[in-house]
Structure 1
Amino acid sequence: MTIDCADPQRLVDFWCEALGYVPEPPPDGHINWRDYWTAMGVPEAELPAGAGMTPESIIDPAGRGPRVWFQRVPEPKVVKNRLHLDLKVSGGRGVALAVRVQRVNAMVERLTSAGATTLRILDEPGEDHFGVLLCDPEGNEFCVA
């Protein structure tokens, strides 16, 4: 999975916190990804300034989830996402609504402390659902439910 962004390191830090992932280390024997790419034959002059000096991708330490690469692009995000992540932290409908609300709110507090912004509470009257729509530090929307 690839996410376009202005500041890969900022999103690496944020999404490691959100997903429980870790920065993807460079292959053995390389001090960083730039060192690896040049060893694989990519001319230094073809690499953008600073590319690969700090982690730009994250991985699930358990090996179950997808790798996420944060690709630096020059243009800013200007419209609503066409795709977003849902972080399922509540335990599902088999758990009492009050407990689900508490779990979601705890994660929202953790993520807003890490740089997320709350956009909307998703708690329609009469529905057995609670979630929160947030955006990451670069404005990419995601839900916690």
Structure 2
Amino acid sequence: MRATARTPRPKPGRATVAFWTPALGHVREPGSDKPDNATIVDPDGRGSAIGFLKVPEGRVRAPRDDDPEEVRGHDRLHFDIRVGAENHPEVVAKLIARGAMKLWDGRHESHAWVTMADGEGNKLCVA
């Protein structure tokens, strides 16, 4: 399986790739670090490869009223990391240690999640 994360920046933010590589337990794909793209892969070959590619488009939605200023211009990349509610505190703490910011807690019926932003303002949810 191959997933793609598109970024509107002139080239994929190195901080974005550096954040998501260990956050997902991936490694850089050898030879994939080019000016307009980078790919990270599951080192065991079981999970997805994720490509970060340059795209010409800008924002795809208006910011929410409760979005912090730091994340108002970035929402082209959004991952959901499913770890189970009992693991939220540990995973959130690890992501904050890597430079993420906690934005808010969410809940819908029995489903709970934590919305965060990586170091470049791209939103993610720990679910």
Q: Tell me, in whole angstroms, the C-alpha distance in 2 between the residues paired with 1:14 and 1:24.
A: 15
What secondary structure is seen at the aligned counterpart in 2 of 1:130? strand
Unaligned runs of 5+ in 2: 60-72
Deviation at 1:108, TM superposition (A): 0.5
Percent sequence identity over aligned pairs: 35
1:85 alignment partner AA = F
The reply to whether residue 88 of structure 1 matches residue 82 of structure 2 is yes
What are the equivalent positions in structure 2 for 1:52-91 lying under 5 Å apart? Answer: 56-71=38-53, 78=73, 80-81=75-76, 84-90=78-84
Q: Tell me, in whole angstroms, the C-alpha distance in 2 between the residues paired with 1:23 and 1:56.
A: 8
Residue-by-residue CA offset, 1:29-77 (whole Å, 9 max, x unaligned): xxx856xxxxxxxxxxxxxxxx38xx93211112233322223579986
Asked whether the 8 Å contact 1:17–1:111 carries over to 2, the reply is no
Unaligned runs of 5+ in 1: 27-31, 35-50, 91-99
Q: Cα distance 1:64–1:17, how it changes in 2: closer, same or farther (>3 A)? A: same
Asked whether the 8 Å contact 2:5–2:50 carries over to 1, the reply is yes
Q: Tell me, in whole angstroms, the C-alpha distance in 2 between the residues paired with 1:110 and 1:76.
A: 30
- Which residue does 1:14 correspond to in 2? 19
Q: Cα distance 1:138–1:76, how it changes in 2: closer, same or farther (>3 A)? A: farther
CA RMSD of aligned residues (A): 3.0
1:116 alignment partner AA = A
Comparing 103-112 and 67-76, the one that deviates more: 67-76
Q: Greater helix share, 1 or 2?
A: 1
TM-score, with length taken from structure 2? 0.67
What are the equivalent positions in structure 2 for 1:95-134 lying under 5 Å apart? Answer: 100-101=85-86, 103-123=87-107, 127-134=109-116
- Which residue does 2:123 correspond to in 1? 141
Q: Tell me, in whole angstroms, the C-alpha distance in 1 between the residues paired with 2:74 and 2:122.
A: 9
Q: Cα distance 1:16–1:33, how it changes in 2: closer, same or farther (>3 A)? A: closer
Larger radius of gyration: 1
Q: Greater strand share, 1 or 2?
A: 2
Deviation at 1:111, TM superposition (A): 0.4
